[in-house]
Amino acid sequence: MWAYTLGVRFWEWLIRRAAAWHAGAAGRSNMLLDPWPENAENKDLIWFHCASLGEYEQILPVIQCWESKNPKHQILISFYSASGYRIAKPTEKTRWVVGFPGDIKPALHAFLLHFKPKLAVFTKAEIWPLCLHLLNLQGIPSMLVAFSPGRSKNLARWPARFVLNQMQKLAYISCQDEETRDFLTEMGLKNAVADGDPRVERTLALQSETLDWPEHLCWRNVQPLVVLGSVWAADLDLWEPIVAEQTHVNWIIAPHQWTEDLKKRIQEKFPQAQHWSSEKNTSISNVVVLDVVGVLSRLYRFANAAYVGGGFGRGVHSVLEPAAAGIPVAFGPKHANSREALAFLHLNVGTELKKKETAQNWLQNVQKKTVQDQTKTALKKWFEGHSVGSQKIAERMEMVLNKNK
């Protein structure tokens, strides 16, 4: 544990030092300067912790389910990353949103002493060994929900043994699927259960949320609309020539990270492209660049098809959002990290793309009405069968709280 503690302290020190020139580090440092709210009403407090915006979207159905059953409880949501914090904090009126102080003993002691949570719920892969240790010492039960299959494989390596020891102290580890539960059981964790992924419900809910389109966008009167979501440079290598050729299609290009290099590349390749956030560009174009955060998940329902990036790098990003919109989805060859991508391949509503020719064939095929209808029907059935995770997790939370009284 001493090596881990030293490493965490050094990492947090590096973040503070990098705050002067690194936007992410500056965001985390500034987030931790915000004052904590006072629990003046002395309500029982339930603490949910997320790494960033993705985990927040994942746990939100559980929070909403819990609030509907326990309206007198105070909800605390903490973030490690400022990106999720900046999105969630302005929109939350009844829930408290704060920055996670890090897995450092003095900071955690102050945090737990101030908020006095009755239950701590961590999301996906947020395993903080020292925090779990302190929670256990203070008699505060904890859970890990929507545990990620990809991250679980790291636990098989010997340096993670001390992490496994702390995970034994969790009341439950709620896994996204049975495969992950079985893996954890083989690793000696008897508190693992399979409850599903609450983000399935969240992605469905996003389809009904309103989206205000910028008035300055001037589309060509053409169809269909295809979204290239969460793309990297390697994804653009595949799609740039197709976008340039297929002028009868409306395109939305949404980079995963809006870097200066990617910005320059898109501007050079598509100089007439419109930008979501720029009101100055009013030229008519069939290409729109999405350069803002928090919009993509609600855009898919306006599209006829979508490609999700990451499949030419470390692994494909979430394919749930376009699938929830009931449209055909495609991705690169590295998709073994996504159980949803594998499921959609099996259902013939997802397609793996490796080169330009296969992408062109896919684009032509998904414009057919029969393909659109079959995809919508298959995806509706799949989502109906996988939208039960938050209810199961909330029931386990209730059991843990009652047992701890």
Question: Considering the domain boundaries, does residue 80 fall inside one?
Answer: yes
Bigger pLDDT: 62 or 164? 62
Q: Which residues of 166-188 are buried (b: 16+ CB within 10 A; e: fewer)?
A: bbeebbbbbbbbeebbebbeeee
Arithmetic mean of pLDDT over the chain: 86
On whether residue 61 sits in a domain, the answer given is: yes
- Rounded Cα distance, 285 and 273, in Å: 6
CATH number at residue 284: 3.40.50.2000
Whether residues 58 and 146 fall in one domain: yes
Name the residue among 298, 365, 362, 292 with its Cα closest to residue 325.
298
Average of per-residue pLDDT across 350-372: 94
**Would residue 235 count as lying in a domain?**
yes
Measure CA 290 to chain center. 18
Asked if the structure places residue 352 within a domain, the reply is yes
Contacting residues for 96 by C-beta, under 8 A, at least 6 apart: 37, 74, 75, 76, 77
CATH number at residue 8: 3.40.50.11720
Report the alpha-carbon distance of residue 129 to residue 1 in Å, rounded. 8
Q: Which two tokens stand for residue 403?
A: 């047992």
Residues in the chain, overall count: 405
Q: Is residue 241 domain-shared with residue 346, that is, in the same domain?
A: yes
Q: How far apart are CA 151 and CA 132, in angstroms?
A: 18
End-to-end Cα distance, the chain: 30
| Segment (H or E) for 384 | helix 369-385
Q: Is residue 88 part of a domain?
A: yes
Q: By C-alpha distance, which of 367, 358, 328 is closest to 223?
A: 367
Separation CA 323–CA 391 (nearest Å): 22
285 and 381 assigned to the same domain: yes
Any domain includes 203: no
pLDDT band, residue 151 (cuts 50/70/90): very low
Same domain, 18 and 115: yes
Residue 389 half-sphere exposure, CB side, CA atoms within 13 Å?
30
User: Are 395 and 364 in a shared domain?
Assistant: no
The residue-averaged pLDDT of 339-364 equals 94
- 241-275 pLDDT per residue, tens: 999 999 889 999 999 988 888 888 988 888 888 88
CA-CA-CA-CA torsion for 135, 138, 141, 142, nearest 10 degrees? 0
Q: Check if the beta carbon of residue 308 is closer than 8 Å to that of residue 319.
A: yes
> 131 and 269: one domain?
no
The residue to which tokens 């309206």 are assigned: 71
Does 149 sit behind a cis peptide bond, omega within 30 degrees of 0 on the bond before it?
no
Whether residue 223 sits in one domain with residue 185: no
pLDDT at 353 over 90: yes
**Bigger pLDDT: 312 or 183?**
312
Same domain, 95 and 227: no
Each residue's pLDDT tens digit, 86-134: 888 877 878 999 999 988 889 999 999 999 999 999 998 888 888 999 9
Number of domains in the chain: 2
Read off the pLDDT of residues 64-74 as tens digits, 9 standing for 90 and up: 999 999 998 99
DSSP-derived secondary structure letter, 74: E
Structure tokens at 44: 């029982």
Structural domain for 94, as ranges: 2-196+388-404
Mean local confidence (pLDDT), 334-357: 92
Which is higher by pLDDT, 353 or 337?
Answer: 353
What's the whole-number mean pLDDT along residues 133-138?
93
274 and 188 part of one domain: no
CA dihedral for 215, 307, 355, 360, sign (positive or negative): negative
Q: Has residue 205 been placed in a domain? A: no
> Is 70 exceeded by the pLDDT of residue 156?
no
What are the residues facing 250 on neighbouring strands? 225
Q: In the predicted model, is pLDDT for residue 208 greater than 90? A: no
Query: Is the pLDDT score of 357 beyond 90?
Result: yes
Residues 6+ apart with CB under 8 A from 260: none
Give me 170's structure tokens.
Answer: 């969790």
As a whole number, mean pLDDT of residues 17-37 equals 77
Q: Are residues 185 and 240 in the same domain?
A: no
Could you give the CA distance from residue 308 to residue 297 in angstroms, rounded to a whole number? 11
**For range 210-219, the mean pLDDT:** 76
Segment among 32-46, 249-263, 304-318, 354-368 with least mean pLDDT: 32-46
| pLDDT above 80 (res 405) | no
In terms of domains, do 228 and 121 share one? no
Question: Does residue 393 fall inside a structural domain?
Answer: yes
pTM of the model: 0.76
Please indicate, yes or no, whether residues 314 and 230 belong to a single structural domain of this protein: yes
